[in-house]
């Protein structure tokens, strides 16, 4: 079985890379408005966000969706 995942656009991209890219694009405040979760709104950090998103599949899915389908920053 091959390790290649040609149909997975997130293959090889870590959650840390995704969060970093989103913070660079939107900033923490706007990111917290797009995805209303506490780890983006109160004392946000990459470390706290990673911890939460690794345990919370629905939130991780929303973050991945925003990464794959960005909206214009406000």
Does the pLDDT at position 74 exceed 60? no
Share of the chain above pLDDT 70, in %: 92
What digits encode the pLDDT tens for the residues 36-63?
A: 999 999 999 999 999 999 999 999 999 9
Cα atoms in the Cβ-side hemisphere of radius 13 Å centred on 31:
28
Query: What's the token pair of residue 10?
Result: 């997130």
Between vectors from CA 59 to CA 53 and to CA 60, what angle results, nearest 5°?
Answer: 55
Q: Is the Cβ–Cβ distance between 71 and 34 less than 8 Å?
A: yes
Does the pLDDT at position 29 exceed 90? yes
Does the pLDDT at position 20 exceed 80? yes
Domains, the chain, in order of start with CATH, read 15-57 (1.10.720.30)
Is residue 54 helix, strand or coil? helix
Average pLDDT of every residue of the chain? 90
């Amino acid at each position: 079985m091959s390790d290649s995942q040609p149909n997975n656009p997130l293959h090889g991209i870590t959650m840390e890379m995704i969060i970093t890219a989103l913070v660079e694009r939107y900033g923490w405040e706007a990111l917290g408005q797009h995805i209303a979760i506490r780890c983006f709104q109160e004392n946000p950090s990459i470390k706290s966000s990673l911890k939460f998103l690794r345990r919370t599949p629905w939130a991780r899915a929303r973050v991945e969706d925003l990464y794959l389908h960005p909206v214009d920053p406000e």
